[in-house]
Amino acid sequence: MAANELTTLARLGAVFERTVSVRDQHDLDVVLKDLCAAIAELLGYGAAVVNVYRPAYDDMLTAAAVGSDASVKALVGRASPAETWYPLLAERFERRGAYFVPGDEFDWESLGADTFVPDIEPSDDPNAWTAEDALFVPLHDAKGELIGVISVDEPETGQRPTDDELDALVAIARQAAIALRIAQETATTVQHQRMLEGVLAVSARLAEADDTDEVLQSVCDGIHEALEFDRVVIELADEHSRRLDPVASSGWGADVRSLTDGVSIDQLRPLFTSDFEIAGCYLIPTEVAEERLGRSTPPPHRSEFNGRGPHAWARHWLLVPLDEPEGRRLGVISVDDPRDRLLPTRARLQALRLFANQAVAALQTADRAVRLRHEALHDPLTGLPNRRAFRARLSREAGRTDGDLALILCDMDNLKRVNDQHGHDAGDRALKSLADALRTGLRRSDDAFRIGGDEFAVVLGGASRLDAERVAHRLQRELAAARAAGEDIQASFGIAVREPGEGTDQLVERADRLLYRAKRRRSVA
């Protein structure tokens, strides 16, 4: 029998070798069908079936079969709960690693699952195969976990199996189990490759993107496509309220109603504990999440791609906080509805964390860009826009032909004296107090600028002479209030309203002359 077994395995070798080329479910289905055909041909059975365990549903799916048209049509694609197989794989039916179930020793109706009974003529031979006989060989992985079952029926001999026939079937099943596991792992490896390619694609877009919104949308799309989560949303915390608001999403359409809808980033803190953390992501059972958040009503969205059993997705919460290296939490990525209906593997979660890191990098880049733009256009001491920003604003206002334009120039008269008598720190404090007074006295549409050491400007868009004089009076009152509070500030103002055909340089020169006159009057007084 050893020689026959070797011959059998050799003829199956070509089928098993093809498992390393499996890339997706279609490839696997083709290999399994070829395996059924090889088993049926080599061992002499009219029907052979491969059932594959699906952890997402905790069931057995008839993935491939050969036999009569009626049997193949009735069996392929049918799924039955894993628990219905346990009585068939009971110890009392075990023979040499296989499980032979005599039809007269098992009540098939009590199984609670549909079965196919072939049309076999009854025989008086006590060893004859009957229509309700069944022969199974379980397929286990290296850890001993059940990953499938091979079943054969309608032996060409018409007899129940001998020990030698069982040994041959079990030997083939062992190789088939290895091949099935290799095929599944190869498909998983291909999926992981797609994940990494998705991360790299987002990295490339990150370098080319013109704005943060584009990068964040790319992150959502990458998670949606490469990691195969049907719903993805990035939510950022409002700077003041810390409430989470969606800024990018995939799979939601126009109405984003995520699990965290209406929640602040600080309220999510009870979910981010070590017992739910995997690779920087947090996978939380929905009951635990809702209890920790103190929710008495269900969230606005519930998962649609749920499975059954210990490995299945069951309305879980999967959150990835967006944390800067220094610890500031910017927001969160929420993902839901895995298309395979399984709890994500560590490799999948690691890829998800990489996508989250891309989002953080984009936000940090945007934040740095905002700070650089602010620094380029603002005075670091007072926080007021600087001379460059003043020129830009004045040009914009001057380009509008549908309104008046006024300019107020302000000069701190006593800065040198404050510096000489009290030191430059006191002078800096005085300049900041003057800037604060200018801000407070302005209309909402106006801006104040620091355009030199002790020189300030106020641009009044759409302002008439009367408007400008009213603003100047308010500014003087604010300065008087600051002096009454102990601030040593003295300042002069020059007010100019644009005349027809006058350019911005001429407007500034005229306001400067008027400021100089005001300073002379103060010095004489």
**Summary count for the chain: helices (H), strands (E):** 12, 17
Confidence of residue 31 (pLDDT cuts 50, 70, 90): confident
The pLDDT score that the predictor gives to residue 372 is 65
For residue 475, give the nearest of 458, 462, 450, 487 by alpha carbon: 458
Catalytic pick among 454, 467, 488, 512? 454
Q: pLDDT of 182-238, one tens digit each?
A: 877 777 777 777 777 877 777 776 666 567 788 888 889 889 988 999 999 999 888
At 29 the pLDDT is: 82
Q: What are phi and psi of 264, to 5 degrees?
A: -90, 160
For residue 169, give every residue at least 6 positions away whose Cβ sits within 8 Å of its Cβ, in sequence order, or none.
39, 43, 98, 135, 137, 150, 152, 161
| Encoded tokens for 343 | 């709890």
- Say which residue, 84 or 17, is predicted with more confidence: 84
Backbone angles phi, psi at 63, to 5 degrees: -85, -30
**What's the token pair of residue 148?**
């499938």
CATH level 3 topology of 2-185: Beta-Lactamase (3.30.450)
DSSP 254: T
Q: What is the pLDDT of residue 13?
A: 67
When mean pLDDT is compared over 2-6, 26-30, 214-218, the highest value belongs to 214-218
pLDDT at 98: 96
For residues 402-429, give the mean pLDDT.
88
Q: 433: closest CA among 469, 377, 384?
A: 384
The listed CATH number (3.30.70.270, 3.40.50.880, 3.40.1710.10, 3.40.640.10) that belongs to domain 387-524: 3.30.70.270
Whether 87 and 108 have beta carbons less than 8 Å apart is answered as no
- Asked whether this chain's domains 2-185 and 387-524 adopt the same fold, the reply is no
> Would you state the pLDDT for residue 1?
44
**Which structure tokens are listed for 332?**
């969160």
Percent of the chain having pLDDT more than 70? 89
Kind and range of the H or E run holding 58: none
What's the pLDDT score for residue 48?
94
Q: Is 104 a catalytic residue?
A: no
Q: Read off the pLDDT of residues 494-525 as tens digits, 9 standing for 90 and up.
A: 999 998 888 889 999 999 999 999 888 876 44
- pLDDT grade for 259, boundaries at 50, 70 and 90: low
Residue 49's pLDDT is: 94
Residues forming a β-bridge with 155 = 45
In this structure, are residues 341 and 56 in contact, taking their beta carbons and an 8 Å threshold? yes
Average pLDDT of the residues of the chain: 85
Residue with tokens 């952890």: 55
CA 241, CA 86: separation in Å to the nearest integer? 55
Q: How would you classify the pairing of strands 98-101 and 134-140?
A: antiparallel
Structure tokens at 368: 């740095």
- Strand ranges in 277-372 using DSSP code E only, listed in sequence order: 277-278, 281-284, 317-323, 329-338
Domain ranges within the chain, ordered by starting residue = 2-185, 209-374, 387-524
Predicted confidence (pLDDT) at residue 255 exceeds the cutoff of 80: no
Q: What is the pLDDT of residue 110?
A: 81
Mean pLDDT of all residues in 434-439: 89
SS3 135: strand
The pair of three-digit structure tokens given for residue 259, joined into one six-digit string: 């699990």
What tokens appear for 159 in the block? 């007899």
Q: Residue 385 belongs to what H/E stretch?
A: none
Q: Is 317 left (phi over 0), alpha (psi -120 to 50) or beta?
A: beta
Beta bridge partners, 493, equal 410
Give the single-character DSSP code of 380.
T
Q: Which of 200-204, 317-321, 444-448 has the lowest mean pLDDT?
A: 200-204
Which residues, in sequence order, are CB contacts of 360 under 8 Å at separation 6+? 322, 323, 324, 330
- Host H or E run for residue 209: none
- Cβ atoms of 184 and 191 closer than 8 Å: no
Fold of 209-374: Beta-Lactamase (3.30.450)
